[in-house]
Amino acid sequence: MAAMSWWELTWCRLKAVGAVLLALPAAALCPCAGALGLAVGQGATKGELAVGDEAPDFELPGSDGKTYRLSDFRGKSVVVIAWFPKAFTPGCTRECKSLAQEGQALAELGVVYFAASCDKPEDNRRFAESLGAKYPILSDPDRKVALAYGVVDDVKGFARRWTFVIGKDGKILHIDKKVNVETHAKDLAAWIKQNVPNK
């Protein structure tokens, strides 16, 4: 066989590198992949929750220093929990800022809403302060709740950008896996107003 030219050898190497990069999950390349509205790891995961399933209960610290339990709102309020990959990253900042600036649209519907990540409580406290967020940002650094919701696959990963709308009966009404970070609060309010009677 004739020896490869320099150009042919370089092309083969570039193809090999490209194949490796394509095989990596998005979160391995950028923890806040999806900043333009695409969720990290939108594909199905093992044991993934679905609409109609009972939402896993949680007990997590909020950025306001309080502890929140999903069960406390059962029979009282629709609950939104918006998981995001990493505090202070560009896409996550825009998403949480949307909830901070436009969250009144949810509050007017009587909806209790949280953002949540696997960051440490102190990090999310500073993040909430930087945004002027009046709503709690929940912290799940050991990822137990994140695993229950299927937004991570192991105890080291970043959370997928998935948002869960949970009914008063504790069942999942909606899962948004294609979050538009710029308009998330308005999008959620519009969906709830249209699809959830007697909020």
- Note whether residue 38 is domain-resident: yes
Q: What is the pLDDT of residue 14?
A: 56
- Note whether residue 10 is domain-resident: no
- Note whether residue 51 is domain-resident: yes
- Note whether residue 25 is domain-resident: no
- Note whether residue 50 is domain-resident: yes
Q: What is the pLDDT of residue 149?
A: 97
Cα–Cα dist 155/133, whole Å: 27
CA distances from 125 to 10, 20, 146 (A): 49, 37, 19
- Note whether residue 65 is domain-resident: yes
pTM: 0.78
CATH code of the domain in which 170 resides: 3.40.30.10
Pairing of strands 112-117, 79-83: parallel
- Note whether residue 189 is domain-resident: yes
CA distances from 25 to 82, 85, 130 (A): 21, 14, 30
- Note whether residue 8 is domain-resident: no
List the domain range (segments joined by +) for residue 183: 31-195
Cα–Cα dist 20/13, whole Å: 11
Structural domains in the chain (count): 1
Q: What is the pLDDT of residue 34?
A: 42
* Tens of pLDDT, residue by residue, the chain (199 residues): 455 565 555 555 655 555 544 444 444 444 554 433 333 333 444 568 999 999 999 999 999 999 999 999 999 999 999 999 999 999 999 999 999 999 999 999 999 999 999 999 999 999 999 999 999 999 999 999 999 999 999 988 899 999 999 999 999 999 999 999 999 999 999 999 999 987 6
Provide the annotated active-site residues: 92
Cα–Cα dist 109/176, whole Å: 18
Q: What is the pLDDT of residue 94?
A: 97
Listed in sequence order, the residues at least 6 apart from 40 whose beta carbon sits closer than 8 Å to its beta carbon are 25, 26, 27, 31, 33, 34, 85, 158, 159, 160, 161
Beta bridge pairs of residue 67 = 61
CA distances from 97 to 49, 77, 79, 112, 184 (A): 27, 23, 19, 17, 9
